[in-house]
Structure 1
Amino acid sequence: MDREVETREDSKGESVHNVCVDWKGRPCKPKKHGGMSAAVFVLGLQAFEMMAIAAIGNNLITYVFNEMHFPLSKSANTVTNFVGTVFLLSLLGGFLSDSYLGSFWTMLIFGFVELSGFILLSVQAHVPELRPPKCSNSMELLNNNSKNICEEAKGYKAWIFYGALYLVALGSGCLKPNIISHGADQFEKQSTRKLSTFFNCAYFAFCSGELVALTLLVWVQTHSGMDVGFGVSTAAMAVGLALLICGSLVYRNSPPRGSIFTPIAQVFVAAISKRKQICPSNSEMLHHTQTTNPQTSNNVTLIHTEKFKFLDKACIKIQSQAETPWNLCTVSQVEQVKILLSLIPIFACTIIFNTILAQLQTFSVQQGTTMNTHLTPDFQIPPASLQSIPYIMLIFVVPFYETAFVPLLRKITKNESGISPLQRVGIGLFIATFSMVSAAIIEQKRRNYAIRYNETLSIFWIAPQFLIFGISEMFTAVGLIEFFYKQSVQGMQSFLTAMTYCSYSFGFYLSSVLVSLVNRITSKNSSGSGGWFSDNDLNKDRLDLFYWLLAALSFVNFFNYLFWSRWYSYNPSLVPNGSSTVVHDVEKQSSDTTTT
Structure 2
Amino acid sequence: MKIQGLVLLSLSWFLPALRPCDHHNINNTCTKARRVHEVVFFIAMYLISFGTGGHKPSLQSFGADQFDDDHVSERRKKMSFFNWWSCGVCSGVILGVTLIVYVQDHVNWGVADIILIGVMAFSLIIFLLGRKSYRYRVPSGSPLTPMFQVLVAAISKRKLPYPSNPSELYEASNFQSCNGRFLCHTEKLKFLDKAAILESDDDGNIAKKQSPWKLATVTKVEEVKLIINMIPIWVFTLPFGICMAQTTTFFIKQGAIMDRKISNNFEIPPASIFALTATGMILSVAIYDQILVPLLKKLTANERGMNILQRIGTGMLFSIISMVVAALVERKRLKMVHLKMNVSWLVPQFLIVGFGDGFTLVGLQEYFYDQVPDSMRSLGIALYLSVIGAGSFLSSLIITIVDHVTSKIGKSWFGKDLNNSRLDKFYWMLAVMTTLNLFLFVFFARQYSYKNVQKVVV
User: Per the alignment, in what secondary structure is the counterpart of residue 95 of structure 2?
Assistant: helix
**Which residue identity lines up with residue 382 of structure 2 in the other structure?**
A
Matches within 5 A, 1:300-319: 300-319=181-200
Question: Alignment partner for residue 442 of structure 1, among 315, 329, 341?
Answer: 329
Q: Is the 8 A contact 1:354 1:503 kept in 2?
A: yes
Q: What is the aligned partner in structure 2 of residue 122 from structure 1?
A: 10
In structure 1, C-alpha distance between the alignment counterparts of 2:179 and 2:152, rounded to whole Å: 20
Question: Alignment partner for residue 277 of structure 1, among 155, 160, 163?
Answer: 160
Q: What is the aligned partner in structure 1 of residue 115 from structure 2?
A: 232
Matches within 5 A, 1:74-153: 113-134=1-22, 136-138=24-26, 150-153=31-34
**Which residue identity lines up with residue 413 of structure 2 in the other structure?**
W
**Which residue identity lines up with residue 242 of structure 1 in the other structure?**
I
In structure 1, C-alpha distance between the alignment counterparts of 2:21 and 2:97, rounded to whole Å: 28
Q: What is the aligned partner in structure 1 of residue 360 from structure 2?
A: 476
User: Per the alignment, in what secondary structure is the counterpart of residue 262 of structure 2?
Assistant: strand
**Which residue identity lines up with residue 168 of structure 2 in the other structure?**
M
244-253 or 270-279: bigger deviation: 270-279
**Which residue identity lines up with residue 568 of structure 1 in the other structure?**
Y
Q: Does 1:532 align with 2:419?
A: no
1:130: how far off? 1.6
Q: What is the aligned partner in structure 2 of residue 352 from structure 1?
A: 239
Q: Does 1:518 align with 2:399?
A: no
1:132: how far off? 2.5
1:555: how far off? 1.0
Matches within 5 A, 1:513-592: 513-526=397-410, 530-533=411-414, 535-573=415-453
**Which residue identity lines up with residue 55 of structure 2 in the other structure?**
L
Q: Does 1:343 align with 2:224?
A: no
**Which residue identity lines up with residue 227 of structure 2 in the other structure?**
L
Computed over aligned residues only, the root mean square deviation of the Cα atoms, in angstroms, reads 2.3
In structure 1, C-alpha distance between the alignment counterparts of 2:341 and 2:424, rounded to whole Å: 15
Q: Is the 8 A contact 1:440 1:544 kept in 2?
A: yes
Question: Alignment partner for residue 176 of structure 1, among 39, 51, 56?
Answer: 56
Q: Is the 8 A contact 1:299 1:490 kept in 2?
A: no
1:488: how far off? 2.9
Question: Alignment partner for residue 487 of structure 1, among 345, 366, 371?
Answer: 371
Q: Is the 8 A contact 1:203 1:478 kept in 2?
A: yes
1:101-125, CA deviations, whole angstroms, 9 ceiling, x for partnerless residues? Answer: xxxxxxxxxxxx2222222222222
User: Per the alignment, in what secondary structure is the counterpart of residue 10 of structure 2?
Assistant: helix
In structure 2, C-alpha distance between the alignment counterparts of 1:272 and 1:395, rounded to whole Å: 48
**Which residue identity lines up with residue 158 of structure 1 in the other structure?**
E
In structure 2, C-alpha distance between the alignment counterparts of 1:286 and 1:224, rounded to whole Å: 68
In structure 2, C-alpha distance between the alignment counterparts of 1:358 and 1:336, rounded to whole Å: 32
Q: What is the aligned partner in structure 2 of residue 504 from structure 1?
A: 388
In structure 1, C-alpha distance between the alignment counterparts of 2:278 and 2:167, rounded to whole Å: 52
1:269: how far off? 1.2
In structure 2, C-alpha distance between the alignment counterparts of 1:130 and 1:386, rounded to whole Å: 31
Q: What is the aligned partner in structure 2 of residue 330 from structure 1?
A: 217
In structure 2, C-alpha distance between the alignment counterparts of 1:192 and 1:479, rounded to whole Å: 16
1:409-460, CA deviations, whole angstroms, 9 ceiling, x for partnerless residues? Answer: 222222222222221111101111000000000001101122xxx2211111
Q: Is the 8 A contact 1:299 1:489 kept in 2?
A: no
User: Per the alignment, in what secondary structure is the counterpart of residue 289 of structure 1?
Assistant: coil
Q: Is the 8 A contact 2:280 2:352 kept in 1?
A: no
- Tell me the matched-pair count: 448
Q: Is the 8 A contact 1:298 1:489 kept in 2?
A: no
Distance 1:380 1:309, change over 3 A: same
In structure 1, C-alpha distance between the alignment counterparts of 2:30 and 2:211, rounded to whole Å: 69
1:257: how far off? 1.0
Q: What is the aligned partner in structure 2 of residue 379 from structure 1?
A: 266
Q: Does 1:366 align with 2:259?
A: no
In structure 2, C-alpha distance between the alignment counterparts of 1:343 and 1:562, rounded to whole Å: 14
Q: Is the 8 A contact 2:102 2:269 kept in 1?
A: no
Q: Is the 8 A contact 1:435 1:468 kept in 2?
A: yes
Distance 1:500 1:285, change over 3 A: same
1:560: how far off? 1.2
312-321 or 505-514: bigger deviation: 312-321
Question: Alignment partner for residue 201 of structure 1, among 74, 84, 90?
Answer: 84
Q: Is the 8 A contact 2:284 2:359 kept in 1?
A: no
**Which residue identity lines up with residue 82 of structure 2 in the other structure?**
F
Q: Is the 8 A contact 1:135 1:151 kept in 2?
A: no
In structure 1, C-alpha distance between the alignment counterparts of 2:153 and 2:180, rounded to whole Å: 22
1:223-252, CA deviations, whole angstroms, 9 ceiling, x for partnerless residues? Answer: 121111111111111111112112212211
Matches within 5 A, 1:409-448: 409-448=296-335
* 5+ residue gaps, structure 1: 1-112, 141-147, 578-592
1:181: how far off? 1.0
Q: What is the aligned partner in structure 2 of residue 167 from structure 1?
A: 47
Q: Is the 8 A contact 1:422 1:479 kept in 2?
A: yes
Distance 1:259 1:158, change over 3 A: same
Distance 1:275 1:467, change over 3 A: same
User: Per the alignment, in what secondary structure is the counterpart of residue 183 of structure 2?
Assistant: coil
Q: Does 1:245 align with 2:128?
A: yes
* 5+ residue gaps, structure 2: none
Q: Does 1:466 align with 2:334?
A: no
Q: What is the aligned partner in structure 1 of residue 169 from structure 2?
A: 286
User: Per the alignment, in what secondary structure is the counterpart of residue 398 of structure 1?
Assistant: helix
User: Per the alignment, in what secondary structure is the counterpart of residue 376 of structure 1?
Assistant: coil
1:406: how far off? 2.3
In structure 1, C-alpha distance between the alignment counterparts of 2:274 and 2:250, rounded to whole Å: 12
Distance 1:455 1:486, change over 3 A: same
Distance 1:135 1:129, change over 3 A: closer
Distance 1:414 1:192, change over 3 A: farther
1:188: how far off? 1.5
Q: Does 1:391 align with 2:272?
A: no
1:320: how far off? 4.0
In structure 2, C-alpha distance between the alignment counterparts of 1:139 and 1:523, rounded to whole Å: 35
Distance 1:538 1:266, change over 3 A: same
In structure 1, C-alpha distance between the alignment counterparts of 2:283 and 2:361, rounded to whole Å: 17
Q: What is the aligned partner in structure 2 of residue 266 from structure 1?
A: 149
